[in-house]
Amino acid sequence: MNIQQEYEWSGIWLSHVKELVIFYRQDGTIAYVSPSCLRILGYAQEDMIDRHRSEFELKRDVPYCSYAHHFGEIESEELYLRTMSHQDGRILWFEAEEREIDRLPNGEPGTMSTAKVMTEQRRKMLMWSYARSMVQVGYWDWDFESGKIYFSPEIRDMVAGKVQALEQSPQPFYDLIHPSDVDTVIKTLNTGTKTGQGGDIRFRILLPGEIWRMLRCVWGVFKTEDGQLNRVFGVIQDITESIEMEEKMLESERMYRLIAETSGDWITLHKPDEAATVLYSSPVCKSMLNYEPEELIGIPAFDIIHPDDREPVAEFLGREGIHEDDRITLRALHKDGHYIWIETSSRRQYNEKGEITSFISVSRDITERRKAEQMLKENQQRYKSLFDHNPFAVYSMNLNGDYLTANSNLQKITGYTLEDLIGMYWGPLVHPKDLDKTNYHFNLAKQGEPQSYDLTIIHKDGHLVEINSTNIPIVVDGEIVGVYGITYDITDRKRHLEQIEKLSNQYNLILNSVNEGIIGFDEEARPIFINPAGAGMLQMDPGEISGYSYDEFMKQFQTNVALQSENAGIYRAIQDGRRYAVSEAVLLRKDGSSFLADYQVTPIWDKGVQKGAVVVFRDITSEKEILKAKEMAEKADRAKSEYLAIMSHEIRTPMNGIMGMADLLDETLLSEEQRSYLNTIQTSCNALLRILNEILDFSKLEAGKMELSHEQFSLHSVVGSVVDLFLPRANEKGISLEADIEDKVPVLVEGDEGRFRQVLVNLVGNAVKFTEEGSIRIHVKYEYASSIHSGGWFTVSVTDTGIGIPEERRDQLFQSFSQLHPSINLKYGGTGLGLAICKKLVELMGGTIGMQSREGTGSSFYFSLPFMGRNKDSELAATPSSQPRLPEPESDSSARSSYALRALIADDNLINRTLLSKMLGKFGLHTDQAENGREAVKAYEEQRYDIIFMDIQMPEMNGFEAAQAILQQSKDGRSPIIVAVTAFAQQNDREACLDCGMHDFISKPVYVSEIKRVLNRWFH
């Protein structure tokens, strides 16, 4: 037969075979399956080929021989019991045989499996055989006709193969039975066969290796129809393990009973009924409850449980899943009627059906423990209260320095949470500078020595905290097991101590630095300290004062008997706690010399208790002399001020007549010669007036009485007016005068306009005076902040091309009454006060002034002032600041027309009255005159006037009194306009006039322009 024929025959065989034939590749995938797969598994061939065997097989194969051996059907060592899934989900059992094959059609090796579906009956028989092997049960069959006996594989396994499957008689088996048991077995078996009754017997067999096994044999006798003994069929089970277990259980039961009877715990057994009826009680009940065990057996356990505890106990016993560690505390009734505390644990006993058959309880008397626990609880509560509510941080540490417990205050001090602190070592909290010190004290505490010390710790957020820490060893049974810590924050206290120490040092410095003498006395009037100044005045050593008694020390205050009363006063002041002072007392030094002193006694009190007194004294010997000199200087200064005021008034009065008449004369027709004479008069008067004003300003500046105003004004207007003032004079000399104001200079500034103008006028006037050719330039610049209300610095410079200043003379420029050279003074004139006044005014306004110059080339004078600037968009208007704010005219000014106005002139000087009358007459006013204030009041009583020009310094009644009297008369009607006309031209004079009710102010000398200003202000 050739190869082709072999393939054809194999194909025919595979197509008609009833078994399931599968060819597997080495990787477990199916290479080919017989067409029977559709009938057996419900899968078509193409559904299984190339798929892995694990997709169809449910479990690994179990060797079939392990089942077949039970029937003596050892057919093949490669036979397996296999389960596979049908396409409809059913599970099929197969007897499968696998063979290795050398070559599949593709040439590679593989495996061929032949599987036959197992019948249900055969499967059950196999399962029963397997079950017998699991429980170690075998059967034997003894045929009486042949005398042969059959032993199943299980029995043969039990006896280690010492009997054959078919023996001619039971003797080989008898030979294995223990000598002590063999006769009993034979006798029992013979008796059963004779009587026809089955039997049940236990016996031992001996196996190789001296191994004894306990077997149980149960058999039955079978007879023929005619009653003849036919056969005996029996079952043998190896019960060695169960017997050993029973013996162990018996031994365990004996041990448990011994434990129960000797244990200190009360062991009871209860029925699982509602009353928990007692089935057993250990003898401990006698010592615990004074009951005999027999007295408790059969009674409900709840009868001896406190009524309040019965419900919790019932819940405990009825709870699911009670563990051995679960316990309940209850009160049990003693036989004498009192209750004791017991702790009970229970465990349920179950039968094979899982039903509770009983439960065992183990109880222990915890009455004493309960008392101890209560005491411990109270102690713990005390400790907990002390621990939790302590104002300090309280904690415990092990010997390694790790925190074990801590209260919340440690958390507050350190910033770490309790979770962070527990288990944490204290080292990272301590500042490095205190680590060695802290470790030193902690080690001493570990050795049993309590410690208290200060240290610095680092808070969690990084700031330092000063603390005091107390470490106390924890001693248990004579052994140190840890360290307690008590800590509190002393940061504030330390800071206070440092402040106190600092203050103490400061006080000592003060005591040592003051010029007054200070002596301290205790409550017994004994001297206890003296400062260096006091010791120096008394010529004493500060250290020797504590050795003096009151009487001895007070000799320092005694010069004669008359002063002893003062000393007595000091003693009484110290004893009575009252103040006592003496002026210009004569005190003695240690060398016997005396000095004049003031002293005062002040008691020292501490929380309402007098602790002594302090005597403060000072040497006024030289002070008296200084005071006299000061008084004389003040009198001289007052005399100078009064003299200057009087001189100003007296000079201005005749000047008023001269300049006023010159002003009137200037408005008349004059010849050229007359006009020249008049100009000379006016120039001389102006120079004299300027000198007078400079002297008065300098006097006020020297006396520190110059006051500044703070009003808004236009700096542009002031600079422009100064240029207008000097421009005619500059044009006469042929020099140019111009002003340059930078764009960023605010329109409005806040400061003293009058003093600013005075400085600028002085500097420009000097430039015009000392410049013969060339130019004069005023430059203003300003540096300011971005805010609209922020202040800034103005720098004003006046640069000329004049004669210049020699370098060696420049230091004289700003000195009072200083001229660079007599020849210059002769040529240009001046008092030498102008620049000195400018310097003082600029410095008074908070600024600085300086200059740069080259002789023969010119000079540049500049000053800087801190003015408050307003930008150009400001709606605020500039108002003159050099004058006090005058009253505003009435809104209805039509009633005050200058037409037919009547004016009263009150002045004690005829020239002044005549001058004013002439000036007012030029404006069409009718005038009357009064020589003093009293006449002015009388004139107003007789004739109502529209305006009154009031001199201040007049006989009989001055201008202030007259103005107030007139205003008082007209308070019910319209009052006249009262204008002060005075030679007192200072700022305070203006304010005084306005404060008394006057409406306006004119200083002498009086100009027509000033009269015109007043009339235009108050009348149309």
Asked if residue 165 lies in contact with residue 151, where contact means CB atoms within 8 angstroms, the answer is: yes
Residue 814 tokens, joined: 């700003």
pLDDT of residue 839: 86
Question: Average pLDDT of 551-580?
Answer: 63
pLDDT in tens, 616-645: 888 887 766 666 767 776 676 666 666 666
Conformational region of residue 82, where left means phi above 0, alpha means psi within -120 to 50, and beta covers everything else: beta
Asked if residue 251 lies in contact with residue 235, where contact means CB atoms within 8 angstroms, the answer is: no
Least confident of 480-489, 699-708, 773-782, 802-811: 699-708
The band of 67, judged by pLDDT with boundaries at 50, 70 and 90, is very low
Question: Average pLDDT of 521-542?
Answer: 84
> What CATH number was assigned to the domain covering residues 390-495?
3.30.450.20
pLDDT of residue 74: 38
Q: How far is CA 866 from CA 229, 697, 761, 783, in A?
A: 148, 22, 19, 10
Higher pLDDT, 553 or 604: 604
Least confident of 122-136, 360-374, 598-612: 122-136
1-15, 101-115, 319-333, range with greatest mean pLDDT: 101-115
Report the C-alpha gap between 651 and 92 in whole angstroms.
150
Number of C-beta neighbours around residue 223 at 10 A: 12
Number of C-beta neighbours around residue 469 at 10 A: 24
H/E run at residue 487: strand 479-489
Residue 827 tokens, joined: 């040529």
Higher pLDDT, 90 or 664: 90
pLDDT of residue 886: 44
pLDDT of residue 874: 44
Can you give the pTM of this predicted structure? 0.34
Number of C-beta neighbours around residue 955 at 10 A: 10
Mark out the alpha helices in 427-531 (DSSP H runs): 435-446, 491-513
Query: Is the domain defined by 707-866 classed in CATH 3.30.565.10?
Result: yes
pLDDT of residue 483: 93
Asked if residue 608 lies in contact with residue 579, where contact means CB atoms within 8 angstroms, the answer is: no
Question: Average pLDDT of 364-385?
Answer: 80
Is residue 849 over pLDDT 80?
yes
CA atoms within 13 A on the CB side of 701: 21
Architecture (CATH level 2) of domain 134-245: 2-Layer Sandwich (3.30)
Residue 689 tokens, joined: 């007036």
Say which amino acid occupies 705. Answer: K
Least confident of 44-48, 512-516, 652-656, 1015-1019: 652-656
pLDDT of residue 743: 86
Pick the closest to residue 977 from 952, 944, 1004 (CA basis): 944
Pick the closest to residue 747 from 723, 718, 721 (CA basis): 718
The band of 539, judged by pLDDT with boundaries at 50, 70 and 90, is confident
The band of 497, judged by pLDDT with boundaries at 50, 70 and 90, is confident
Asked if residue 188 lies in contact with residue 201, where contact means CB atoms within 8 angstroms, the answer is: yes
Say if 134-245 and 390-495 have the same CATH topology.
yes
Percent of the chain scored above 70 by pLDDT? 80
Report the C-alpha gap between 681 and 585 in whole angstroms.
66
The residue whose two tokens read 């059913």 is 90
Domain 264-370: homologous superfamily in CATH: PAS domain (3.30.450.20)
List of E strands, 71-154: 79-85, 91-101, 110-117, 137-143, 149-151
Least confident of 426-430, 512-516, 757-761: 512-516
Domain 514-699: homologous superfamily in CATH: PAS domain (3.30.450.20)
The band of 66, judged by pLDDT with boundaries at 50, 70 and 90, is very low
pLDDT of residue 64: 47
Is residue 804 over pLDDT 90?
no
Question: Average pLDDT of 817-826?
Answer: 50
Architecture (CATH level 2) of domain 902-1019: 3-Layer(aba) Sandwich (3.40)
Angle between helices 753-770 and 715-733 (to 10 degrees): 20
SS3 567: helix
Domain 20-117: homologous superfamily in CATH: PAS domain (3.30.450.20)
pLDDT of residue 593: 81
pLDDT in tens, 438-460: 999 999 999 999 999 999 999 99
- Report the b/e string of 831-865 with b at 16+ CB within 10 A: bbbbbbbbbbbbeebebebebebeeeebbbbbbbb
Pick the closest to residue 968 from 940, 1002, 942 (CA basis): 940
Q: How far is CA 889 from CA 297, 563, 965, 1018, in A?
A: 127, 70, 21, 6
Report the C-alpha gap between 69 and 130 in whole angstroms.
10
Residue 449 tokens, joined: 């020595």
Q: Per the omega criterion (within 30 degrees of 0), is the bond before 428 cis?
A: no
Cα 419 from chain centroid? 20
pLDDT of residue 77: 45
Report the C-alpha gap between 205 and 176 in whole angstroms.
5
pLDDT of residue 700: 63
List of E strands, 490-621: 517-522, 527-530, 580-588, 594-606, 609-619
Question: Average pLDDT of 827-856?
Answer: 78
pLDDT of residue 645: 62
pLDDT of residue 638: 65
Average pLDDT of the chain is 80
Is residue 545 over pLDDT 50?
yes
Domain residue ranges of the chain, discontinuous segments joined by +: 20-117, 134-245, 264-370, 390-495, 514-699, 707-866, 902-1019
pLDDT of residue 972: 66
Q: Is 140 exposed, middle or buried, given 0-12, 13-18 or 19+ CB atoms closer than 10 A?
A: buried
The residue whose two tokens read 């330092």 is 464
Higher pLDDT, 710 or 1016: 1016
pLDDT of residue 467: 92
Question: Cα-atom radius of gyration of the chain, to the nearest Å?
Answer: 68
SS3 691: helix
Q: What angle do CA 887, 893, 897 make, to 5 degrees?
A: 115
Report the C-alpha gap between 269 and 488 in whole angstroms.
59
The DSSP secondary-structure symbol of 426 reads S
5-9, 519-523, 771-775, range with greatest mean pLDDT: 771-775
pLDDT in tens, 199-256: 899 999 988 888 888 999 998 888 877 878 888 888 898 888 888 887 877 776 677 6
Report the C-alpha gap between 752 and 931 in whole angstroms.
37
